Structure 1
């Protein structure tokens, strides 16, 4: 099966077919190399928490799909690590994303959302990804890390390339990696000479005070992962949620009538159309049985978060958006020790983004013929979200 093409064009049709025939399938990754794809909720959830499935590429056998190849300076990140290194690094950055810390960020996030909506005026047509869903999270994560506004446009262009690299144009991805590396290296030099009250300055202080706690490559890789994942996951979650509302006007009306539903609504949007089709690839450290299939040690295992979240055995009538549904237990942001570190922040940004948008515009309609999705086997995000919008009363 050509997984990359199928998932780019009709992921949920494909997953429905796969779940029906077997829990586990042999597939080909973007480079044509083989992997095992797991599609049913119970199997995916159990595998996400199974310590025998390693994220460390040292456990991968030659000849299997290995995912995106990163330069060594960016490779020492949490998505390639197991305990104890994973535990050590996660502890260092975890305090920046605690629910308490995120609550303190809600006011500035709402201010950023209002500023972006102010720029749209009272009515018109716009690409909501470019004008709103993308600049909101990039502003939040860059301010958290202490990245100057003048460099944020560069990062966004590199990120757009890396989240869906074109196999026919490998030089473009190489240039994006080179740009990102140079940017982060310059930023670390600047932060060392002029530290500030931001997460990156804090991590540099840890690195320079105690080399045993954080290597230079780990510092660079952490900065890259926090920046990249903090932006990409959230812009996709916001854009996908807005599209779900536009395509389900009855659910939009329900949320307008009862704004207190917003937290539960975000969980349903994440279940229905989460920011990732697949979890990061894993490698069994021993022969392992999943869904009745024995997977040899070192083979590549792909866990489909989106297939699990549309499994009717866990979520009845799963292809329908239902804000009255109990969507707790969805796997859109992972499960187990690799659960998304920035999940509290992504949830808060999405809640605020949707609330501000519905508060501001009384009329909001999709202005495109069909949604245009990024050509990616892993990420699930829109390339654009054209909308017509208007409001009946001035913004507060």
Structure 2
């Protein structure tokens, strides 16, 4: 669902004794003021999310505690550490998500991460660069010469989907079902009724689809990431087909949604700060620094993925019982004044920039090199080829997607352009 402009500020005022679930499920246009009020009261607060877990769920809003949460071995990523009811509902409705590195602790996490870590090595990213550049230019070629359109639909959303499909070796023609699967599987796994039935339907479709793809790769090997995963599994005898399928759909979802948000949120931030936009146009060498600020200022994720405590512990001065959910508010950590000077200022030259958008420690995002590569090419090319880009409505009135996913992004980004430059090297 989306948040209407009149509802676009976080519904939490910061004055309630217990944080409502909307703080994480519907962050809206401006969750940062609410996070700041929370942080002034303390770094860790109880929250009723998933529903019914008010006494055993906490949100973490300061940089130091979020960093600790990412690396503390007593804060577990496994379903086994979660309450039994949550574990049973998750496995029943979406077991396809239960066998990848996202829901594992070392040493199991270390084993599963090997499936994908070599895919994102710098050398492989450089080999992928020409294809990302080609996709980016093709999408811009399809823009109207002059006119209005939705930049999310025309650019931010298709770019990472086309890249991840090419990288994995799955048909871009199947993009609609990938998007639908990602939408459903990104919802709260604790949902019941029709929502749970829909998750189970999608779960079965994903298993069938990728089981068929794995069989095809074994029959006709190809040089793509899925082919590499199959070879690694068969040669090392370290991975099951269930783990391969789970890893494949995880890569599709993670490789598309968060990078689309990086591009959309980054353009939105530049359009709200025309001085920074002109600075970046005049100094394209600042692109890498700008991307880090996009990730900090309006990051593509709002919070970390599932974590529960494996034992009783104290976090940020708050007693947190064993089996409690721990929601690491990345967006709040990225605006912590204890770490970032004038944190509400958008500054593409900011240095240092120790944002937490890609996580920290053993669960640092394996796909960060690909996201940064796509972001670099997307912004360099867009700003060079489209010299006049403007939002057709006040940017602060735009709706933000609000679901129980960890990601955070716009629903649409209506823009107007006046003229386009040819792609590099074109006659």
The TM-score normalised by the length of structure 1 is 0.93
- Residue 347 (structure 2) aligned to one of 314, 322, 326: 322
**What's the CA shift string for 1:194-250, capped at 9, x where partnerless?**
220011112112223343x00121111111111111111111111111111111111
Once residues 135 and 272 of structure 1 are traced to their aligned partners in structure 2, the CA distance between those partners, rounded to angstroms, is 23
Structure 1 residue 63, shift from structure 2 partner: 6.2
Tell me the equivalent position of 2:80: 58
Once residues 332 and 220 of structure 2 are traced to their aligned partners in structure 1, the CA distance between those partners, rounded to angstroms, is 46
**What's the CA shift string for 1:309-338, capped at 9, x where partnerless?**
011111122122111211531101100000
Once residues 314 and 392 of structure 1 are traced to their aligned partners in structure 2, the CA distance between those partners, rounded to angstroms, is 40
Once residues 183 and 94 of structure 2 are traced to their aligned partners in structure 1, the CA distance between those partners, rounded to angstroms, is 17
Contact 1:3 1:29 in 2 (8 A): yes
Structure 1 residue 123, shift from structure 2 partner: 1.5
Structure 1 residues 383 and 32 mapped into 2: Cα distance closer, same or farther (>3 Å)? farther
Tell me the equivalent position of 2:139: 116
Contact 2:96 2:206 in 1 (8 A): no
Compare 62-71 and 83-92 and name the one that shifted more.
Answer: 62-71
Tell me the equivalent position of 1:27: 47
Tell me the equivalent position of 2:402: 375
Tell me the equivalent position of 2:20: 2
Tell me the equivalent position of 2:222: 196
Structure 1 residues 392 and 192 mapped into 2: Cα distance closer, same or farther (>3 Å)? closer
Compare 72-81 and 156-165 and name the one that shifted more.
Answer: 156-165
Contact 1:112 1:136 in 2 (8 A): yes
Tell me the equivalent position of 1:224: 249
Compare 7-16 and 77-86 and name the one that shifted more.
Answer: 7-16
Structure 1 residue 2, shift from structure 2 partner: 2.2
Contact 2:23 2:31 in 1 (8 A): no
Q: Classify the secondary structure of the residue corresponding to 1:230.
A: helix
Once residues 84 and 304 of structure 1 are traced to their aligned partners in structure 2, the CA distance between those partners, rounded to angstroms, is 26
Once residues 381 and 61 of structure 2 are traced to their aligned partners in structure 1, the CA distance between those partners, rounded to angstroms, is 35
- Residue 78 (structure 1) aligned to one of 65, 79, 101: 101
Tell me the equivalent position of 1:49: 71
Contact 2:94 2:185 in 1 (8 A): no
Q: Classify the secondary structure of the residue corresponding to 2:118.
A: helix
Aligned runs of 1:69-218 on 2, under 5 Å? 71-164=94-187, 170=195, 171-211=197-237, 213-218=238-243
Once residues 260 and 295 of structure 2 are traced to their aligned partners in structure 1, the CA distance between those partners, rounded to angstroms, is 12
Structure 1 residues 73 and 161 mapped into 2: Cα distance closer, same or farther (>3 Å)? closer
Once residues 67 and 40 of structure 1 are traced to their aligned partners in structure 2, the CA distance between those partners, rounded to angstroms, is 31
Structure 1 residue 376, shift from structure 2 partner: 2.5
The TM-score normalised by the length of structure 2 is 0.87
Tell me the equivalent position of 2:32: 12
Aligned runs of 1:215-254 on 2, under 5 Å? 215-254=240-279
Contact 2:385 2:420 in 1 (8 A): no
Structure 1 residue 65, shift from structure 2 partner: 9.6
Gaps of 5+ in 2: 1-18
Once residues 102 and 58 of structure 1 are traced to their aligned partners in structure 2, the CA distance between those partners, rounded to angstroms, is 35
Structure 1 residues 5 and 313 mapped into 2: Cα distance closer, same or farther (>3 Å)? closer
CA RMSD of aligned residues (A): 2.2
Compare 45-54 and 67-76 and name the one that shifted more.
Answer: 67-76
Gaps of 5+ in 1: none
Contact 1:56 1:81 in 2 (8 A): yes
**What's the CA shift string for 1:166-198, capped at 9, x where partnerless?**
968514444433333332222222222222001
Structure 1 residues 48 and 26 mapped into 2: Cα distance closer, same or farther (>3 Å)? same
Structure 1 residues 66 and 122 mapped into 2: Cα distance closer, same or farther (>3 Å)? farther
Q: Classify the secondary structure of the residue corresponding to 2:411.
A: strand
Contact 1:59 1:298 in 2 (8 A): yes
Contact 1:52 1:286 in 2 (8 A): yes
